[in-house]
Amino acid sequence: MKAVHTELHRSHDPQFFLVRGVVKRTTEQPERADRLLKGLKDGKHQLVEPITFGQGPRARIHSPEYLSFLSEAWDAWTALGDSGPEMIGNIHPVRHAATYPTHIVGRLGWHSADTAAPIGAGTWAAACAATDVAVTAAQMVMDGEDATYALCRPPGHHAYRDMAGGFCFLNNSAIAAAHLRQRHERVVILDVDVHHGNGTQGIFYARPDVYTVSIHADPVAYYPYVWGYAHERGEGPGLGTNLNIPLAIGTGDDGYIQAMDVARKAIESFAPGALVIALGLDASEHDPLKGLAVTTPGFRRIGQAIAKMGLPTVFVQEGGYLSDILGANLTSVLAGFEEAR
């Protein structure tokens, strides 16, 4: 399996992370990509540089005002004169009968779901590079590859059409799915990140053509808390094309594989033409965010289960934080896929 990667992610190096009232350094660091890259090299995957697709694929998913905000944000922020080293909102409007603001502090709040997506000088460039990585991987599958992997950083699955959050700015998995939709009438996104893919769910919630499935730690006790429950099934023409499979905190390999079986049956009945895997590796037993307890051999079984769905597949990197086995878990899931194909 070929893997798409660029060093351009490095310009995004956020620092601020607010956890239960305590300010920490974020877990979404550039070193993540170094460890994932080592996992790709250990798995002997051929590395490919992304093609620059530009704004078109991003504009299929994100609103014009949101893309303008992200591209202009840093310059407007530094022009304030008394602003901090990263952009973090201090208003979080709930938008009832609200007016879209013109001031950068207002726009920052409008376009943020939480404080976990600080914007720095190089955030926009890195986020754009990540969408090019995802779209390149999708294009390679449309051009005949059976499966590809996209090393995207920053991740994307918490980003909505017009709202950042949870380390995410542009929804790489959603953008890859929209690119595949040019070829396939129905596409599935299966999100195996430990966190519910709330942005992805929100983007496609009313659409019948993209089936969103997420297996994640139960939001009753885990981020994002207010999305990711089993009763969220889509709305309007999209009713029935969203499936959430929350798992009890601490669930291990066997419970996870059972959930994969439920997901596989649902996906088969949708009869899609292609599959995007929102590949979080933070369900690992050793991940610092401790939600689920999947082992390295367990990730191999997850890769095998994905392969058995028999669909052209684009793996898009989502979460997965610094641990000694982050790279090994990537090697494992991709090896499992390849051996079961």
Query: Among all residues, which ones are annotated catalytic?
Result: 158
Classify residue 63 by burial, with Cβ atoms within 10 Å: 0-12, 13-18, 19+: middle
Quote the least distance from Cβ 26 to Zn ion, whole Å.
13
- Put the strands of the sheet holding 242-247 in their side by side order: 47-48, 2-4, 147-150, 313-317, 274-279, 187-191, 210-217, 242-247
What is d(CA 135, CA 178) in angstroms, rounded to the nearest whole number? 9
Q: Which is nearer to Zn ion, 223 or 337 (CB)?
A: 223
Beta-strand relationship, 274-279 and 47-48: unpaired
Q: Which is nearer to Zn ion, 272 or 319 (CB)?
A: 319
Q: Which is nearer to Zn ion, 118 or 280 (CB)?
A: 280
Quote the least distance from Cβ 340 to Zn ion, whole Å.
25
Q: Which is nearer to Zn ion, 132 or 282 (CB)?
A: 282
Q: Tokens 């890769």 sit at which residue?
A: 303
Binding site for Zn ion (CB under 5 A): 193, 195, 280, 282, 319
For CA atoms 120, 124, 128, 134, give the dihedral sign: positive
Cβ(298)–Cβ(292) below 8 Å: no
Q: Which is nearer to Zn ion, 239 or 248 (CB)?
A: 248
3-class SS of residue 144: coil
Best CA proximity match to 315, nearest among 10, 67, 45, 61 = 45
Quote the least distance from Cβ 233 to Zn ion, whole Å.
22
Quote the least distance from Cβ 188 to Zn ion, whole Å.
19
- Vertex 214, ends 209 and 216: CA angle to 5°? 170
In the complex, which residue's CB is closest to Zn ion? 319
Quote the least distance from Cβ 94 to Zn ion, whole Å.
24
For CA atoms 171, 174, 178, 179, give the dihedral sign: positive
Cβ(170)–Cβ(153) below 8 Å: no
